[in-house]
Amino acid sequence: MSQESATFNMPVIGALAEQWGRINANISEIVRQTSQDDLDLPVPPRGWPIWAVVAHTMAGRVYWLCGVLKQPGAELTPFDEETVTEGLGWEDHLDIPRSRDDLIRAIDSTWQVVAGWLQRWSPDMLKETYPREGQSGTQWHTNPSIFTRLLNHEGYEMGQVAMTLGTRGREVIDIWRDVVGEAPTSAKS
């Protein structure tokens, strides 16, 4: 399901999904253009290599959507049951480095999970709550809270990667490239 062919139950969700789809495409394109040596660079403050930060970001989609919200599609991704149930991803196995192709598959396949989730949204789903056992007890989440969490998480993690590449003189990741629309005609004059 491509972002162009997806239809959404609510126009606002469709517009948000289109923007997120562009961000996802930018992340995918940036990873395609990054050398394996650069994917191995450590990202402060954790010290994980870039590949692990990107993988962690994509695994978050699977954990929150398939593990917490019980959405379908985990089997379409390269992540295993440990990611869905425990939130453990490739970044938890740094002894098994991942390639650019692994990351691209993770980015593209987890986007299919995200797009499918957003396509199924309805006004009633905005109010549904989902339990998650956390360190401080049961936490309750909603579809909008997970949407916000995932999008903020992706911006934060990709910002860390951009800073790492930029401080090493590499091209900086701009996940917002081509996401904003054109200025209104009145603003162009």
Q: What is the pLDDT of residue 1?
A: 46
DSSP 3-state of 175: coil
Which amino acid is present at 84?
V
- Helix then strand then coil, in percent of the chain rounded to 5, is 60, 10, 35
> Within a domain: residue 104?
yes
Q: How far apart are CA 84 and CA 71, in angstroms?
A: 10
Q: Which tokens hold the place of 23?
A: 């961000």
Q: How far apart are CA 50 and CA 66, in angstroms?
A: 24
Identify any residues that bridge with 48 across adjacent strands, giving them in sequence order: 43
> Within a domain: residue 2?
no
Residue pLDDT, tens place only, 68-105: 999 999 999 999 999 999 999 999 999 999 999 999 99
Number of domains present in the structure of the chain: 1
- Report the Cα 124 to chain-centroid distance in Å: 24
> Within a domain: residue 5?
no
Q: What is the pLDDT of residue 181?
A: 59
Residue pLDDT, tens place only, 107-142: 999 999 999 999 998 888 888 999 999 889 999 999
Please state, for a pLDDT cut of 70, what percent of the chain lies above it: 88
Q: Specify the CATH number for the domain of residue 102.
A: 1.20.120.450
Q: How far apart are CA 43 and CA 64, in angstroms?
A: 23
Q: What is the pLDDT of residue 187?
A: 56
With a cut of 60, say whether residue 6 has pLDDT above it.
no
Q: Which tokens hold the place of 138?
A: 């049961």
- Report the Cα 112 to chain-centroid distance in Å: 11
Q: Cβ of 50: how many Cβ atoms within 10 Å? A: 22
> Within a domain: residue 188?
no
- DSSP assignment of 105-132 equals HHHHHHHHHHHHHHHT--GGGGT-EEEE
> What is the band of 182 on the pLDDT scale with cuts at 50, 70, 90?
low
Q: Which domain holds residue 91?
A: 11-179
What are the start-end ranges of the E strands in 90-180? 129-134, 137-142
